[in-house]
Structure 1
Amino acid sequence: MSRREIVAGAAPTLAGTASRGRVAAATGSEPSARRPLPASFLWGTAISAHQSEGNNIHSDAWLLENLPSTVFKDPSGDACDSYNRYEEDISLAAELGFNCYRIGIEWARIEPEPARFSQAELDHYVRVLETCRKHGLAPILTYSHFTVPLWFAQRGGFEVADGADLFARFAGRATDALGDLIGMASTFNEANIPLLLKLLRAGRSKADADAVKSMIAAAAQATSSPEFSSLLFADPDRTQPVLLDAHAKAQAAIKASTGDFPVGVTLSMQSVEAVGPNSLAPIVEDAMYGGWIEAAKASDFVGVQTYTRIRVGDHGALPAPEGAEMTAAGYEYYPPALGDTIRLAARLIGKPIYVTESGIATDDDARRIAFIDATIEEVRRCIDEGIPVHSYMYWSLLDNFEWTKGYGERFGLVSVDPKTFARTPKPSALHLGERARPWAPARRR
């Protein structure tokens, strides 16, 4: 697949041989009345390095999770041990019937000290991507999924202007090693998430705000750094200009390196719904994106990542309607949000659209299946309307580490035993695989 093909609206081409074994094949056909999906529509799952690999000891998150004053419910620890068990995970994803696998590489592993790049870690990620190819999965790569090297956080992270140059240096070096294997890539995961978090934190208690300040102060003291900055807790007014610069410079560095693959950015695009007269919804929606709409317009594609809706009245965000179903993550169960955000991306950005995350935290797998069916239907409606949607990637393949919530929120299609790391597909995994398989492109054997 090439940048030219993706910008023209063509979907990626897969290569490799599918693995079969634990999951039975399913058959089905597309309803004849509907517009056909793109020939190479991507079906898959998304996962990040820190949340699944485990023992990411050189990262800012590892330090924060293990401080006595941490706001993290659990430390990530071994996570799902995917660093060692990546081949099992990739094989399982292929067996389920998917044709892509969205994963991240960990900057803190590749560059654990400034300008000291680990060839061994680059070789590790080469093997990961080669394994994807072997099993017929297009590797969808994320260069940064919130975490940064500890040394980078100590010097001020993305609050310091030259942080953009350092991130671009990392992206270029990683692409030198991995570029020929990458299917498509995004510089940042949910690049606008600090802006959304700022909106959501406006209503938090003083005690919660003080707890975060105490944790960051403890991290600065532990590392003898007055400038300690971690992206998910930093002031977005300071980080956003640097992140936008980092995206542009990293995108240029990636395209100047090896490989010929599309480069985009993924955005947190929650549906914003106006409630009542004089709603502040337009102001809230604009505040969620900052300069990222323009950045996406200058990229090859946009990744839409949607979980719920935000209802906004004349004084700001409102709670979910009385009696609304809530997910285990504490927000409203609202599958139509995905259709809303796809249409918004089509209207504002006008680039090929990939659903790079959609999922639900729940211990009721029947509700996960219902959510999957409802969100796929939203994608199908958008395609029927002529919107160029090229993928559906569920978050996530595994029950994994969910940041400050620890291991208490389970989004996965596959459960993971915390002691043995045994993977057990849930009925929802088989269900999504069956939905994907009839339309997945034929794999070369």
Structure 2
Amino acid sequence: MTFPDGFLWGSATAAHQVEGNNIASDFWVLEHVPGSRFAEPSGDACDHYRLFREDIALLAELGFTSYRFSIEWARVEPEDGFISRAAIEHYRDVLQACHDHGIVPMVTLHHFTSPAWLTRLGGWEYAGTPERFAAYCRTVMTELGPLIPYACTINEANIAMLTRRMIADMTGTAGGAEQAPVGVARDEAGGGRDWREVGAEALRTTPDNLNLFLFTWTETGLELITRAHTEARRAIREASPSTKVGITLALQDWQAAPGGEKAADERWAEAFEFFLPAMEGDDFLGVQNYSRVVIGADGLACAHPEGAELTQMGYEFYPQALENVVRRAATAGLPVYITENGIATDDDERRAAFVRSALEGVERCLADGIDVRGYCYWSTLDNFEWLLGYGPTFGMIAVDRKTQKRTVKPSARLLGDIARRNAVADA
């Protein structure tokens, strides 16, 4: 495989999923309430907060040239207006470790979790959230900007739209947000109490204020998310003009069965075109893709093709989706970084096959003149997968959760070798 000079070869993590003990965040609280919809709490996670130096050194040893990770807002600002100097210095150390090992850091400033205090104010339905998020970004970039060449403001800014559609598919309500139930936020917590009520009580707020980023799909919430991006971009540029700024979007390869063409196009418009105005002025677009979704004539996702290979997440094994999505996303006119692409499986040979096939698609995009500048595998480590706990294994590196011992999988060596061969070719 041949890729252009300077192409970034990376892997990705998110703070809450790997660092451990993110106690000031909304998710930490909700993981521990009675009747929690989380399969298990995150706990120590992968102890990456302590072991980041070893992990970054391992990536460099394997041949990777980039590392995408998130700075945790709840650590930097654990209470409204209070900035933790210890957290700032910790992330300075993480960034410096990247540079010391020749790893280009790509930082995400919000990856699903938010400070618990923000949720008490109303979370991602609170009118002041964009300003508060921008202020946090300004603080981070004022302190650390010279060490951050690439900043993603919000991870998967469109994720609530995808969640809404998934629930609509499950319930047969193709109309989307207006007809889709809140789902996990409405399940019984035991004792006749609604899980949303229990969670709100634990966060010292009301159920109406329990507006988590992952489930913010009202028009007000979506407008606030896009405004948070544009205001954060402005703050980042003012504090660190040399930092390239973008957003990441979760993009399925929506394919139409006969009669489903209009509905498939609507899904793409909802998940991608809706965000085009907010992306005007961005330096790049982060594309995140894992599979395809086939849309039937009724406007709902169809069952997987008979005999299709499925991942641990229930996705179809379909690495070809990445090429299709990159081609469509490139119409935004921005350089593309593939900020997440991967597979949850306990069969590492299938992970290696997935990566090879996905990269062949990227290579074809490049051959056709599409401006793709990096590939980042999700994820670096077997980590905490949100509501599903530690069941799904996306990582190229296994983690023994009792000892925190890392074990490199062959797929990591495969991707690292591809990166190394291209680096030699560039030289």
TM (norm. structure 1) is 0.89
Once residues 170 and 75 of structure 2 are traced to their aligned partners in structure 1, the CA distance between those partners, rounded to angstroms, is 34
Moved more, 258-267 or 302-311: 258-267
Work out which of the residue numbers 301, 307, 318 in structure 2 matches 1:334: 318
Does residue 376 (structure 1) correspond to residue 352 (structure 2)? The answer is no
Following TM superposition, by how much is the alpha carbon of 1:342 offset from its aligned partner in structure 2, in angstroms? 0.4
- How far does the alpha carbon of each residue in 1:146-172 deviate from its partner, in whole angstroms, 9 at most, with x for none? 000000011111101111000000000
Equivalence for 2:330: 346
Work out which of the residue numbers 13, 22, 31 in structure 2 matches 1:47: 13
Alignment of 1:206-245 (within 5 A): 210-211=186-187, 214-226=194-206, 227-245=209-227
Following TM superposition, by how much is the alpha carbon of 1:224 offset from its aligned partner in structure 2, in angstroms? 2.9
Closer, same or farther: CA 116–442 of 1 in aligned 2, 3 Å? farther
Equivalence for 1:19: none
- How far does the alpha carbon of each residue in 1:20-47 deviate from its partner, in whole angstroms, 9 at most, with x for none? xxxxxxxxxx5xxxxx522100001011
CA contact (8 A) 1:43 1:436 kept: yes
CA contact (8 A) 1:194 1:236 kept: no
Work out which of the residue numbers 128, 139, 146 in structure 2 matches 1:180: 146
Equivalence for 2:111: 145
- How far does the alpha carbon of each residue in 1:318-356 deviate from its partner, in whole angstroms, 9 at most, with x for none? 111111110011111111110011000112x01101111
Closer, same or farther: CA 224–388 of 1 in aligned 2, 3 Å? same
Following TM superposition, by how much is the alpha carbon of 1:209 offset from its aligned partner in structure 2, in angstroms? 6.0
CA contact (8 A) 1:181 1:259 kept: no
CA contact (8 A) 2:141 2:239 kept: yes
Does residue 60 (structure 1) correspond to residue 60 (structure 2)? The answer is no
Structure 2 unaligned regions, length at least 5: 172-180
Work out which of the residue numbers 377, 386, 400 in structure 2 matches 1:403: 386
Moved more, 267-276 or 229-238: 229-238
> 3-state SS of the aligned residue for 2:151?
strand
Once residues 67 and 47 of structure 1 are traced to their aligned partners in structure 2, the CA distance between those partners, rounded to angstroms, is 25
CA contact (8 A) 1:154 1:229 kept: no
Following TM superposition, by how much is the alpha carbon of 1:236 offset from its aligned partner in structure 2, in angstroms? 3.9
Closer, same or farther: CA 212–275 of 1 in aligned 2, 3 Å? farther
CA contact (8 A) 1:41 1:391 kept: yes
Amino acid at match of 2:219: D
Following TM superposition, by how much is the alpha carbon of 1:443 offset from its aligned partner in structure 2, in angstroms? 11
Amino acid at match of 1:183: P
Following TM superposition, by how much is the alpha carbon of 1:259 offset from its aligned partner in structure 2, in angstroms? 5.1
Work out which of the residue numbers 264, 273, 279 in structure 1 matches 2:255: 273
Structure 1 unaligned regions, length at least 5: 1-29, 31-35
Work out which of the residue numbers 225, 237, 242 in structure 2 matches 1:260: 242
Equivalence for 2:230: 248
Alignment of 1:277-426 (within 5 A): 277-279=259-261, 280-289=263-272, 291-316=274-299, 317-347=301-331, 349-426=332-409
> 3-state SS of the aligned residue for 1:89?
helix
Once residues 290 and 111 of structure 1 are traced to their aligned partners in structure 2, the CA distance between those partners, rounded to angstroms, is 33
Once residues 279 and 411 of structure 2 are traced to their aligned partners in structure 1, the CA distance between those partners, rounded to angstroms, is 32
Amino acid at match of 1:211: D
Once residues 105 and 209 of structure 1 are traced to their aligned partners in structure 2, the CA distance between those partners, rounded to angstroms, is 26
Alignment coverage as a number of residue pairs: 409
> 3-state SS of the aligned residue for 1:357?
strand
Equivalence for 1:111: 77
Work out which of the residue numbers 144, 162, 166 in structure 2 matches 1:196: 162
Once residues 342 and 411 of structure 1 are traced to their aligned partners in structure 2, the CA distance between those partners, rounded to angstroms, is 21
- How far does the alpha carbon of each residue in 1:294-316 deviate from its partner, in whole angstroms, 9 at most, with x for none? 22233110011000111112212
Following TM superposition, by how much is the alpha carbon of 1:208 offset from its aligned partner in structure 2, in angstroms? 5.1
Work out which of the residue numbers 74, 87, 110 in structure 2 matches 1:121: 87
Once residues 340 and 104 of structure 1 are traced to their aligned partners in structure 2, the CA distance between those partners, rounded to angstroms, is 27
CA contact (8 A) 1:194 1:232 kept: yes
CA contact (8 A) 1:59 1:149 kept: yes
Once residues 5 and 260 of structure 2 are traced to their aligned partners in structure 1, the CA distance between those partners, rounded to angstroms, is 44
> 3-state SS of the aligned residue for 1:342?
helix
- How far does the alpha carbon of each residue in 1:230-275 deviate from its partner, in whole angstroms, 9 at most, with x for none? 1113334332100111000000000000351210001101101011
- How far does the alpha carbon of each residue in 1:49-97 deviate from its partner, in whole angstroms, 9 at most, with x for none? 0000000000000011111121110100000000000001100110110
State the superposition RMSD in angstroms: 1.8
Once residues 188 and 104 of structure 2 are traced to their aligned partners in structure 1, the CA distance between those partners, rounded to angstroms, is 38
Q: Percent identity?
A: 44
> 3-state SS of the aligned residue for 2:354?
helix
Equivalence for 2:175: none
Once residues 435 and 186 of structure 1 are traced to their aligned partners in structure 2, the CA distance between those partners, rounded to angstroms, is 25
Amino acid at match of 1:97: G
Once residues 406 and 67 of structure 1 are traced to their aligned partners in structure 2, the CA distance between those partners, rounded to angstroms, is 15
CA contact (8 A) 1:297 1:350 kept: no
Once residues 362 and 248 of structure 2 are traced to their aligned partners in structure 1, the CA distance between those partners, rounded to angstroms, is 17
Once residues 203 and 166 of structure 2 are traced to their aligned partners in structure 1, the CA distance between those partners, rounded to angstroms, is 29
